[in-house]
Chains A and B, each alone.
Chain A
């Protein structure tokens, strides 16, 4: 299985901060990498697919980059509604796998 390791596992940030989350794959996955946001008690919500394509309706403060084994999710200016857990997910090879999640908390 392809392992995805996110860092950090959690972070504290203030409204307006720039936040970067990284996801490292155990082998090259080209750009077969997606990002999801999950709020408490809710299903995950797709933010970015194919490493850098913003899902329709997602604010442009979210962006993704990377290819191969190293990927980043950036929130350019953190908003109150962005406090959540973020997961990366690979679709290069089944079984599809997720990172362990990064919890973004209020500082």
Chain B
């Protein structure tokens, strides 16, 4: 069965620290990969997505993610976090035959202290 694993449940950083959130997926075919973010009191919103081409994708607010096919990974990075990045981050995958059925990881809570 398809699955997504996010390694860190809760990450605590100081402002200006670098961020890397791990995401591994299990899926037998071609996949499309997403990172969503949920800021406190707000809707889930898309940070970035990867379908094909350059495996390094850039998203909103300075986030980027790298797709490494051999490792089944799609880690999220940001060189310098801000207090406003405090949120819950979800990695998700869709198979090409799966329509809109996003399979989500359990999420990582990021707390940034100023």
Please say whether chains A and B are actual partners in one complex.
no
